[in-house]
Amino acid sequence: MSEAEQQKPSHIALLGVPIEIGAAQAGTLMGPAALRTAGIARVLEQLELRVDDHGDLSIPAVVSDGPVPANTKFYEEVKTWIRLLSERAYWLAQSGAVPIFMGGDHSLSMGSINGVARFWQEKGRPLFALWVDAHADYNTPDTTITGNMHGMSAAFLCGEPGLDNLLGGLPRASITPDQLDLIGTRSVDPLERKLLRERRVAIADMRAIDEFGVAVLIRRVIDRVKARNGVLHVSFDVDFLDPSVAPGVGTTVPGGATYREAHLIMELLHDSGLVRSVDIVELNPFLDERGRTARVVVELIGSLFGLQITDRPTPTNAVLPD
């Protein structure tokens, strides 16, 4: 039996996170409903996985308990979402399920990844985050141009200053910059680029994909996670895909990944047996074409959890040259 088969998850927990205030464009709050309509549960169940849909997260009254950092739009509202989601993500990870957080804009990752990272830190295993995204999302309040908090999520998760009271009294389970991998990056702000360079964050931009191919790049990530006995969180922003493939996003950037490249990434991640939690973010049905983008995303999630055209053995991951 292969390593991936031994570690194959059997239980998926779906949680909708209909947040849109972290982004500039309204509409991502409809993302969870679009994914359900496109059949995400049905596809996963066809793979003989138990699927529990926990509905959509809803927040109580907005919490105000401290100063609001400059250059952070809707900080109080985002903060309330993140605190609730972090606790729910921790609980879902404890349950033994692989949680899929259906967004919603990318600010939700500040809560989802913090919660699952806290769980795995208690287990003594590092959590690595694969940021599948056209954007680096490594801004801070000091570097941001827009003030939109979905562009600060990766920086917050890596412990960068500026949002230190976001979680209040809840544990902040930061990952280190060497536990973050960006792939598909093609839009980075000037000060954000400087910070990424200083932190030596691994970036596989679209030139790297064109030059080396996604298989080489993803296997490097897999090898690094395995070498440290880690687990992997996949934070999948729909704008990673080229707009011709996935028009239903509010932050489209030309020159994105193809349908085939995206499926290969997901298949290789499935083969690795390392994925233990997933975000799906920035799907905006208001901008979509008759559900086309939602259907593509559901197909990709199917590949991530083992859907394939023909039965084939899991390939071994060859050691890559330096």
Q: Of 135, 233, 263, 270, which one is the catalytic site residue?
A: 135
Catalytic-residue membership of 54: no
Q: What is the dihedral of CA 31, 36, 39, 43, to 10 degrees?
A: 100
No. of helices (H) and no. of strands (E), the chain = 11, 8
Q: Of 20, 105, 137, 288, which one is the catalytic site residue?
A: 137
Which token pair is 281? 């973010």
Catalytic-residue membership of 223: no
Catalytic-residue membership of 137: yes
Q: Of 160, 261, 279, 282, which one is the catalytic site residue?
A: 282
Residues 72, 147 contacting (CB under 8 angstroms): yes
DSSP state of 257: B
Catalytic-residue membership of 160: no
Catalytic-residue membership of 106: yes
Q: Of 133, 261, 288, 299, which one is the catalytic site residue?
A: 133
Q: What DSSP string runs through 162-190?
A: T-TTTTTTS---PPPGGGEEEEEE-B--H
Q: Of 20, 160, 192, 237, which one is the catalytic site residue?
A: 237
For 94, residues 6+ apart whose C-beta sits below 8 A from its C-beta are 119
Neighbours of 315 (CB within 10 A): 13
Q: Of 150, 233, 263, 270, which one is the catalytic site residue?
A: 150
Residues 150, 29 contacting (CB under 8 angstroms): no
Residues 77, 64 contacting (CB under 8 angstroms): no
Residues 113, 236 contacting (CB under 8 angstroms): no
Q: How far apart are CA 156 and CA 161, in angstroms?
A: 7
Residue whose token pair is 């009271």: 165
Q: How far apart are CA 91 and CA 110, in angstroms?
A: 16
Q: Of 20, 105, 106, 160, which one is the catalytic site residue?
A: 106
Catalytic-residue membership of 164: no
Catalytic-residue membership of 270: no
Q: Of 77, 178, 210, 239, which one is the catalytic site residue?
A: 239
Active-site positions?
A: 106, 133, 135, 137, 150, 237, 239, 282
